[in-house]
Amino acid sequence: MKRAALRYALGILVAIGALLAVASARTPRLEYVERVTAGADPSTRLPMIVAIHGLGDRPDQFAKLFDGYQRPARIILPRAPLPWQGGFAWFPFRVRDQDESQLAAGIEDAADRVSALIEALVRERPTLGRPVITGFSQGGMTTFRVAAERPELIRAALPIGGLLPPALFPTASRATKPRIRGFHGEVDPAVPLAGARQAIQAFQAAGYSAVLLEYPNTGHFIPPAMRADLMNALAAATATVAE
């Protein structure tokens, strides 16, 4: 009787293990690049900055945006799962494809993947406070969505050149509401400024502290003035990160 019960229990454990393996295979953990700034010791507790690249980019390339960042921090640069023209993509289409439901589904999937990575890394890496999240283009859209759907994971969100479809707007019911500071070119042809404005307004309506910095004569790129403002925003977000 005992042997039969043991075989039954072992069978259940094997079945559960198989199910977990299948689930893991369906959504594997994101690969990422890790950098520490300002000569920090990577074994010490550091503020974490999660930086999400855009369409066709790579983590090692996007990491150059943070060259010379003067505050000690651990920068995590996730790699999108889909190969795209020599780089990687979070979803294989653009805003101008004008399929809003498809765009929303792609953003949501990316945000779920990044959120899972954040949860894992905060447990595994010595981290001071909640992370700050930022990203450009598809990474900016993903940043918006993480702030809306998993606000408890982060201290602040700094989306660059991003937007959020109305289906993914935040709700006022969230107890935790991180600060949102967006950055966007006024003449961005790839991700229209109007979409970023609507997203910021939705966060404001939901009770978030949210502002959008707009840059004249700027398209879908990060000019020096925007980069300087981003570095200042990161410094401000991590300056009081100890909890």
Q: pLDDT tens digits, residue range 59-115? A: 999 999 999 999 999 999 999 999 999 999 999 999 988 799 999 999 999 999 999
What are the pLDDT digits (tens) for 145-184? 999 999 999 999 999 999 999 999 999 888 899 999 999 9
Structure tokens at 230: 């981003």
- Which residues 6+ apart lie within 8 Å of 80 measured at CB? 30, 53, 88, 89, 90, 110, 138
DSSP tag of 17: H
Percent of the chain at pLDDT > 90 equals 84
Check: pTM over 0.85? Answer yes or no: yes
Using alpha carbons, select from 124, 122, 182 the residue that is nearest to residue 152: 122
d(CA 48, CA 133): 8
d(CA 64, CA 33): 12
Handedness of CA 188, 92, 167, 77 (dihedral sign): negative
